[in-house]
Amino acid sequence: MIEARQLVRRYGEFAAVDGVSFSISPGEVVGLLGHNGAGKTTIMKMLTGYIEPSSGEVLVDGIDVQSEPLAVQAKMGYLPESLPIYPELTVADYLAHTAQLRGLDPQATVPDALDSTQLADKAFERIDTLSRGYKQRLGVAQAILHKPKFLILDEPSNGLDPNQIQHMRALIRNLAQQATVILSTHIMQEVSAVCDRALIVRGGKLVVDERLSDLQRSTQAHLRTNEDAAVDAILRGLASVQETTSLGDGAWSIELQGEGTNAISAIAAALVGADVPIYSLAPESRDLEAIFTEANQAEEVIDAA
């Protein structure tokens, strides 16, 4: 488990991260979202022990990152936004060098990392000849050499073309079968495609901490029926309906009370029982981009506890 407790990082009077707390359980794939400058990379660096918090603490598997950074880093793989690489080295030589820095046997670790990231056919090519997509895969390969329990990826799809993004998503899904993954990005589609949960940061504060399935659940439903149907009278008698709004031409917006699936079933049963035709009836779908916009426009910070 990763636990961040009231993390603060200040640069003079400026708080890049301000009182951020969350916990991530084993096996979760979590997206850390925010505009550029929101504090995502600073949080990543504090989680990995790359920089120290001004106050607060990070525990990884119960180990304090500040007290025992090397013990924590042995459990973590990290892809920074700007990967330090040696362009004159081949892929295999770079990974062998990285393995040696970690105290690993290159012959025992490099082949698995190459296979996992589908880089085996590029093993003897110089890094400066690789495409952006292959360089990102190389970054992931160096992060998983030691088979970490925790994998932190900072903007892994940054600069990739659509085909390369699909390869990166597939790679992350595969890695998530063996490791807890934190994916830092400002691209909504990446989180929707691979993550179970979203943490949204705004101005250094954590404003949302929710599972995607819960975030995207809406209390609104949309109905289309016969324009002359007595919909309002029927729906107002249901405990599952809080409010109805006619949009004209037989279209209705319905504010639901309680779980969407149960409410929709009750509405359908009531309308069918009253011989009201149903042309369409569905809960409103909220995409992550809309939720992200709402979070960044909200005045009040949502308690992530």
The answer to whether residue 303 sits within a structural domain is no
Question: What pLDDT, on the 0 to 100 scale, is given for residue 244?
Answer: 86
Q: Would you state the pLDDT for residue 296?
A: 67
pLDDT at residue number 110: 96
**153: β partners:** 79, 183
Task: State the residue range of the domain holding 247.
Answer: 220-283
pLDDT of residue 303: 42
- In-domain check, residue 191: yes
Ranges in the chain, pLDDT < 70: 215-218, 228-229, 258-261, 285-305
Average pLDDT value over all residues in the chain: 86
The answer on 178 and 62 residing in a single domain is yes
Quote the pLDDT of residue 299: 45
In a domain, 288, yes or no: no
**Same domain membership, residue 268 and residue 189:** no
User: Last residue of some domain: 162, 192, 215?
Assistant: 215
Give the number of other CB atoms < 10 A from CB of residue 300.
Answer: 6
Q: Residue 29, Cβ neighbours under 10 Å: how many?
A: 21
Tell me which of 215, 234, 261 is where a domain ends: 215
Sort 187 into a burial class: Cβ within 10 Å, 0-12 / 13-18 / 19+.
Answer: middle
Q: What is the pTM of this model?
A: 0.73
User: Are 183 and 247 in the same domain?
Assistant: no
Query: Is residue 190 located within the same domain as residue 237?
Result: no
72 and 201 assigned to the same domain: yes
Domain check: are 86 and 136 in the same one? yes
Residue 167 near residue 133 (C-beta atoms within 8 A): yes
Q: Are residues 73 and 99 in the same domain?
A: yes
pLDDT at 121: 93
27 and 73 inside one domain:
yes
pLDDT at 54: 95
Q: Quick one: 191 and 55 in the same domain?
A: yes
SS3 143: helix
Q: Are 227 and 209 part of one and the same domain?
A: no
Residues 51 and 140 in one domain: yes
My answer on whether 245 and 126 are in the same domain is: no
The number of distinct structural domains making up the chain is 2
